[in-house]
Amino acid sequence: MADASLDIVAMGDAIVDVIASADDEFLKRHGLPKGSMQLLTPEQADELYGAMGVAREMSGGSAANSMAGVAAMGGKSAFIGQVAKDQLGIIFEHDMRALGVKFDTPPLVGGPPTGRCLILVTADGQRTMNTCPGASHELCSAALDPALIASASILFLEGYLFGPDKPRAAMMEAIDIAHSAGRKVAFTLSESVCIAGRKESFAAMIDGGGVDLLFANEDEALQLTGRTDLDSALAELRAKVPVLVITSGPEGATAIAGGQRISIPAAPVRQVVDTTGAGDLFAAGFLTAHCRGAGLERCLWTGAIAAGEVIQHYGARPIVDLKTLVQL
C-alpha cells in the first residue's frame, strides 16, 4: 500500500449557506420546526429567501465544512461535490480552494442550480435548516477521481448525500476504491431526518463492512438500530464498525473502539451563538487527530475543541487559528 499524500477526501453536498437571524414567531409563521432540517424545492427556497432578513452567504455542506476544518488544523484535505456553473457555484469553488481544500469536481452545465441551505438562527443559538440540494444531488460516478480517493488515508462520506440514487451509487463505488487501496472509510449519519427512507441502505452498507469509523448522535443511533435503549443500540453498532463515535451535544461525546469506551464532556464555551456546523467540526477534529495517530481521548477532545470554536460565531467554518487551539 502506497503512503497517503492526503489525510482525508470527502464526498458530500456542495451547498452555499444563507444565514439569517429569526425569532420563534417567524419559524411558526412559516411552519418550520425549531432546530429541524427540511428539504425545499427551488420554488419553496425562493419564497423563504424572500421572507428572510439580512443574510450572510458562505460556502457550506456538512462534509465540505469538515474538510475546511481539517485544512484549518493543518491537515491535507480534498472534497468531491457537485456545483452548477453559476454564481453560487463560483463562490463555493473559490471558498474551498481559498481555505486550502483541493476541489476539482467539474461544474454541472444545463442542470439544476447550485444547492443552497437557508439557515435561520434564533437567539438561543439553535439553527433551523432549510435545504434546496439542487446540483449537489446530481453527483455521479463519472465525477470520481479514483487516484484522488486512493491517495487519502480516509474517505469521509455524509448521510445527507446518501439518499438520491446517483450520489449513493457514486459513494458505494468510492468505498470500493478506498478499501481496494487499503484506506479507511468514515461515515456520518448527518441528521436523523436522513435515516427515514434510507435505513435499509445505511444498514446494508454498515453490515457489509463498508464503514470503518461511524459518527452518529444518540437519536440517530436509536433510529438506525430501531432500539429504544441507547446502550443496546451502541452494542449493536459497535459490533459492526471498528470505531464508533457518538455525540451528545452539550453533554459531550463517546468513542468506542478495540474494547475501549471513552467519554468526555463538551468543551467549555463563553456563549453559544450558532450551532451550525458543530457536528461537522467535531468530525473534522476527530479525524484529523486520528490521522496523526492520536488515541481515542485525544481524538474526542480535538473534535470537542473544534466544535466549541464554531458554535461561538455565525457560520459553520472556523474563524480562529484552529492549529493553535487544538495543538496537534
3-state secondary structure 23-55: CHHHHHHCCCCCCCEEECCHHHHHHHHHHCCCC
Residues 6+ apart with CB under 8 A from 231: none
Written as nine digits, the cell of 185 is: 472509510
Tell me, yes or no, whether 151 lies in a domain.
yes
User: Exposure of 203 by Cβ count < 10 A (0-12 exposed, 13-18 middle, 19+ buried)?
Assistant: middle
Tell me, yes or no, whether 122 lies in a domain.
no
Residue 161 scores a pLDDT above 80: yes
Tell me, yes or no, whether 247 lies in a domain.
yes
Tell me, yes or no, whether 21 lies in a domain.
no
Tell me, yes or no, whether 45 lies in a domain.
no
257 forms beta bridges with 243, 260
Q: Write the CATH number for 220.
A: 3.40.1190.20
d(C-alpha 59, C-alpha 251), whole Å: 28
The 10s digit of each residue's pLDDT in 176-189 is 999 999 999 999 98
Tell me, yes or no, whether 121 lies in a domain.
no
The 10s digit of each residue's pLDDT in 72-105 is 999 999 999 999 999 999 999 999 999 999 999 9
d(C-alpha 310, C-alpha 280), whole Å: 10
Pair 191, 221: CB distance under 8 Å = no
- Structural domain span for residue 151: 6-13+60-112+135-326
Tell me, yes or no, whether 298 lies in a domain.
yes
Pair 17, 85: CB distance under 8 Å = no
Tell me, yes or no, whether 39 lies in a domain.
no
The pLDDT mean for the chain works out to 91
The 10s digit of each residue's pLDDT in 231-251 is 999 999 999 999 999 999 889
Q: pLDDT band for position 305 (50/70/90)?
A: very high
186 forms beta bridges with 156, 213
State residue 109's pLDDT score.
Answer: 94
Number of domains making up the chain:
1
d(C-alpha 39, C-alpha 229), whole Å: 29
The pair phi, psi for residue 25, each rounded to 5°, is -65, -40
| Cα–Cα nearest to 108, from 119, 92, 97, 129 | 92
**Of 207-211, 223-227, 295-299, 322-326, which gets the smallest average pLDDT?**
322-326
Segment 243-269 mean pLDDT = 93
Return the C-alpha torsion angle 117, 168, 175, 9, nearest 10: -20
Written as nine digits, the cell of 239 is: 459490533
Written as nine digits, the cell of 61 is: 455542506
Q: pLDDT band for position 2 (50/70/90)?
A: low
Instruction: Specify the pairing of strand 253-257 against strand 260-264.
Output: antiparallel
State residue 193's pLDDT score.
Answer: 56
